[in-house]
Amino acid sequence: MNEASAPTQRLAVAVDFTPASEHAIAAAIALAQRVPHTAIHVVHVLPVDPWIKTDGLPRESAAMEAASRKLRELVLEVGLRAPGRRWDQEVSFHVRLGDAVEAILQLVVDVDADLLIVGTHGRRGLERLLLGSVATRLVMEARLPVYVARPKELEGLPRSEIPALPLPGSERAATNAALLPRSDQRATLELGARTAHISGLI
């Protein structure tokens, strides 16, 4: 792999084979579509059986191989539903043993990830208190940005009574201006490094 094709962004995606995982994979694919030379690292963590050793026993090896195949199938399934043109995507599959949060955070270090993507089950109240949340722990403990993917569920939620910001030049612009909070403003900003020399400065 030459420098031109070397990954410029490494995304780690935590997968537990629930519907939440599909949202995480879809988010990673969407980001990879927009950023050239992005590598995706998908990880699943198997719990350690406390009653048997895990030093290369066939039972663990078989479970890890099965999980790796399942990861490939899931990523391919989600990827085939991705909108837009088809493209080749570099994907690495990782299966680890142990505590989910500890193993995922170690994987992030091992692959030098730039962003960790996790799905959330959206548990609330007592269910969340009793079951805990891997996503919450990852957000709290990860030492890199964490993207929490979940489906958009805005249906049935009431909108604010403040009218929408009118487009500049529209008839509503003048009549609604007094009703809008001062923070509702649009601006076109020029972003990026400055290259012009500022006259008069030495």
Close Cβ partners of 26 (under 8 Å, ≥ 6 residues apart): 78, 81, 82, 149
At residue 53, the pLDDT reads 55
At residue 202, the pLDDT reads 47
* Phi, psi of 62, deg, nearest 5: -65, -40
Tens of pLDDT, residue by residue over 97-106, are 989 999 999 9
* Angle between helix 100-110 and helix 134-141 axes, rounded to 10 deg: 40
| Distances 195 to 191, 199, 201, 202 between C-alpha atoms, Å | 12, 12, 14, 15
- Amino acid occupying residue 41: H
Tens of pLDDT, residue by residue over 183-199, are 556 777 777 666 655 54
At residue 173, the pLDDT reads 54
Domains and CATH numbers, the chain: 3-149 (3.40.50.620)
DSSP 3-state of 24: helix
Share of the chain above pLDDT 70, in %: 67
Tens of pLDDT, residue by residue over 48-75, are 765 555 555 566 788 889 999 999 999 9
Share of the chain above pLDDT 90, in %: 39
Tens of pLDDT, residue by residue over 71-97, are 999 999 999 988 877 878 889 999 999
| Higher-scoring residue by pLDDT: 123, 28 | 28
pLDDT over threshold 90, residue 12:
yes
- Residue 147 — left, alpha, or beta (φ > 0 → left; ψ -120 to 50 → alpha)? beta
Query: Which strands form 90-97's sheet, in the order they lie side by side?
Result: 90-97, 38-46, 9-14, 115-119, 146-149
pLDDT bracket for residue 136 (50, 70, 90): confident
At residue 196, the pLDDT reads 55
pLDDT bracket for residue 157 (50, 70, 90): confident
Place of tokens 């030379």: 37
Q: CA triplet 34, 39, 41: central angle to 5 degrees?
A: 125
